Structure 1
Amino acid sequence: MGFLRFGSWPRMWPFWLWLTIFYSAWLTLVLVGGHVSTVLHHWPIALTMSVGSYVAGSTPMGGGTVAFPVLVLLFDFPGALGRNFGLAIQSIGMTSATIYILSSGRSVDWGLLRPALVGALIGTPLGAAWVAPWVPDLWVKLIFGVIWASFGILHLVKLRELVSAHQSSRQWHRLDLWIGLAIGVTGGIASSITGVGIDMMIYATLVLLYRTDLKVAIPTSVILMAFTSVVGIASNGLLATFRPEIYHIAPEVFANWLAAAPIVALGAPFGALVVNLISRTPTLVVVSVLCIGQYVWTLVHEHVTGWPLIGALVGVVLFNLLFHGLYTLGKGNALISGNPLELATDELDS
């Protein structure tokens, strides 16, 4: 089983070529650059990303969703470092998963994805230049916590219905261009602040509003996050070159990336493979609980009180109101159209 089921070998040649090029380049960089000790010294983050990369490939969450709380909350690094590392490591892991997804012919919602990619190309650099540098470190952590706690609550409440959807609503596809652009621009700005977020936005739209099968929604979110990560880390690197006093990238980002990159290059596509072979429910439940846990951990660890605490609590409420609005619109359309699959799901939930 395993990698032997990566699809037709002739069709998978872009994926194998990518792995060959990446590991050759990484090995050359480590050996010629004298970074062996750096890789060995940073083994904890490599171990962490073995889990993070699986999550990145098998759920609508980037590997930065695991890396950010570990670096920022466990190792006490600043939020900007967690963001930049998340973007850098996702540029390898989720790009690897993307090449696997495209090579293996997985179903992707291109109608919504294409305009979202354009929006991300606009929103991510704008957010990196004009928004992210001015967001206080505490608020970077809180925004991250709010986004993924809301994701966790969404799945714990609606999980059975989400995993039961098998058909996409045609009504909303008429608005693909505008919905996709909105997701891309706003999600790109959010990702420029925390390193993640745009993947959750397109995923929530697909599963709640469009009622899309998770086997389509998850690969779509992976591709969008991979693209946004490449644009994000490239934007940050370019900005740091010209204005290092404002857009500084800490050396620890490169050191951690060097140790974790060879892990995520295989871990993320492995997650993309596994999601089609086993039930998605256990993985999503565990990840959702962890998302809520890191939110609580952030509030306690950072001793959040006063207005920041109120903002963090209100943020979760607002996100879930948005999710509920998307869900209501999607459910209403299912009832009007009489989609038998979605009506059957509604009867099971009643």
Structure 2
Amino acid sequence: MKAVKSWPRLWPFYVWLSVFFAAWLLLVTLGHHWSTVIHHWPIALTMTFGSYIAGSTPMGGGTVAFPVLTLLFDMPGALGRNFGLAIQSIGMVSASIYILSSRKEVDWALLRPGMLGALLGTPLGATWVAPFVSDLWVKLIFAVIWASFGIMHLVKLKELVAAEGVSSRWRSLDMPIGLLVGVIGGIASSITGVGIDMLIYATLVLLYRSDLKRAIPTSVILMAFTSVVGISSNALLSAWYPSVYAINPEVFRNWLAAAPVVALGAPFGALVVSLIPRTPTLVVVSLLCVGQFVWTLVQEQVGGLALLGALFGVFVFNALFHGLYHLGRGEDPFELGTHPIELATEDPEG
């Protein structure tokens, strides 16, 4: 009965799907792109899995697309980044509309300033940072971010899955914390196509002690917003200064093939994750995160200072996660201790 009653509230999601598929069909048909769609079937197949991950975990679809394009298909890191932003602008937007229509829990108090920070940080990174990061370091930064995420999950997963409610300890600092996450995450996403979703998720589950049913939808919506801002910024920069900010035409071709898959796959992930245990999915994803780090080091033959830098990056990220975890428990990050945690099961904004 509950499922039947939920159907009418999903009308914005159905309208979105109808408009998107009508526009996609017109674009492919009138532009004579059917051969392009068929030729690029491997990325569409890849994003079947990637879009499910995007909707069911705090990881964008670009987290799967990036290593496949850059490591398996040996394409430039900039192409992987732009494709990730472009495809998430469909898949994660679709998942976000489903999340909002089905009225899942979202931490708006942290999400709003996070979106504002992303609106500032993403174009800033796209203009002044991303074009000047070497292809190798784009791949390494991506690998470091998600390897760190994987390690954090494997170590803390049992506790994260068991969490209920959300701590009120840091609520007075929602605005500066959200802005900081948005700016830093926006810059990171402008380089690799993903990252801000992981940062707000880690902040929620480690510092705010939030349960996953609130943290994951919040991260999906922030990544969707950042992806739209990111690909829009890159498209404008490419039009104005193509010599510096040009977007590889393969981004559009891959997008054409994968867009209809992710439009359904990401919201499907958001639906399924509410029906099955999260632990198996997160364990598999975490192992893949660590695996892609090793794959990147081997594929790119990373050694010397670059290898030391990558390993140090993983250490720094996990030290940050360690600090957030102990601050969330009300402890000194460098001094173990136990303090009670205040939980608020209701949204503090009502």
Q: Which band: TM-score by shorter chain? A: over 0.9
Per-residue deviation at 1:7? Answer: 6.3
Aligned to 2:154: 156
Q: Is the 8 A contact 2:329 2:340 kept in 1?
A: no
Partner SS state of residue 170, structure 2 = helix
Residue 232 of structure 2 aligns to which amino acid in structure 1? A
Q: Unpaired segments of 5 or more residues in structure 1? A: 342-350
Residue 266 (structure 1) aligned to one of 229, 246, 264: 264
Aligned to 1:174: 172
Q: Is the 8 A contact 1:199 1:225 kept in 2?
A: yes
Residue 271 of structure 1 aligns to which amino acid in structure 2? G
Residue 188 (structure 1) aligned to one of 165, 186, 189: 186
Per-residue deviation at 1:332? Answer: 2.5
State the distance in 2 between where 1:29 and 1:286 align.
36
Aligned to 2:334: none
Partner SS state of residue 191, structure 1 = helix
State the distance in 1 between where 2:174 and 2:223 align.
18
- State percent identity of aligned pairs: 73
Residue 331 of structure 1 aligns to which amino acid in structure 2? R
Aligned to 1:66: 64
Aligned to 1:330: 328
Partner SS state of residue 233, structure 1 = helix
Residue 255 of structure 2 aligns to which amino acid in structure 1? W
Residues 1:17 and 2:15 are matched in the alignment: yes
State the distance in 2 between where 1:6 and 1:324 align.
43
Aligned to 2:348: none
Residue 43 of structure 2 aligns to which amino acid in structure 1? I
Compare 86-95 and 327-336 and name the one that shifted more.
327-336
Aligned to 1:312: 310
Q: Deviations over 1:244-267 (max 9, x none)?
A: 010010010000000000000000
State the distance in 2 between where 1:275 and 1:194 align.
26
User: How do residues 70-89 of structure 1 correspond to structure 2 at under 5 angstroms?
Assistant: 70-89=68-87
Compare 324-333 and 166-175 and name the one that shifted more.
324-333
Aligned to 1:285: 283
Residue 256 of structure 2 aligns to which amino acid in structure 1? L
Q: 1:100 to 1:338 in 2, by over 3 A?
A: closer
Q: Deviations over 1:223-252 (max 9, x none)?
A: 000000000000000000010010010010
Q: 1:259 to 1:332 in 2, by over 3 A?
A: same
Q: Is the 8 A contact 1:15 1:100 kept in 2?
A: yes
Partner SS state of residue 283, structure 2 = helix
Per-residue deviation at 1:331? Answer: 1.7
Q: Is the 8 A contact 2:142 2:192 kept in 1?
A: yes
Q: Is the 8 A contact 1:124 1:231 kept in 2?
A: yes
State the distance in 2 between where 1:167 and 1:272 align.
19
Partner SS state of residue 224, structure 2 = helix
State the distance in 2 between where 1:5 and 1:242 align.
49
State the distance in 2 between where 1:336 and 1:306 align.
43
Q: Is the 8 A contact 1:151 1:200 kept in 2?
A: yes
Residue 222 of structure 2 aligns to which amino acid in structure 1? L
Q: Deviations over 1:66-85 (max 9, x none)?
A: 00000000000000000000
Aligned to 1:347: none
State the distance in 1 between where 2:112 and 2:338 align.
28
Per-residue deviation at 1:336? Answer: 3.3
Aligned to 1:125: 123
Q: TM-score normalized by structure 2? A: 0.95
State the distance in 1 between where 2:76 and 2:68 align.
11
Q: Deviations over 1:82-107 (max 9, x none)?
A: 00000000000000000000000000
Per-residue deviation at 1:8? Answer: 1.7
User: How do residues 249-264 of structure 1 correspond to structure 2 at under 5 angstroms?
Assistant: 249-264=247-262
Q: How many residues align?
A: 340
State the distance in 2 between where 1:271 and 1:70 align.
20
Partner SS state of residue 181, structure 1 = helix
State the distance in 2 between where 1:338 and 1:237 align.
45
Partner SS state of residue 10, structure 1 = helix
Q: Deviations over 1:40-70 (max 9, x none)?
A: 0000000000000000000000000000000
Residues 1:234 and 2:258 are matched in the alignment: no
State the distance in 1 between where 2:143 and 2:302 align.
12
* CA-atom RMSD in angstroms: 1.7
Residues 1:32 and 2:19 are matched in the alignment: no
Q: TM-score normalized by structure 1? A: 0.95
Q: Deviations over 1:200-233 (max 9, x none)?
A: 0000000001000100000000000000000000
Residues 1:245 and 2:251 are matched in the alignment: no
State the distance in 2 between where 1:71 and 1:285 align.
23
Q: Is the 8 A contact 2:82 2:251 kept in 1?
A: yes
Partner SS state of residue 23, structure 2 = helix
Per-residue deviation at 1:167? Answer: 1.6
Q: Unpaired segments of 5 or more residues in structure 2? A: 332-336, 345-350
State the distance in 1 between where 2:93 and 2:63 align.
16
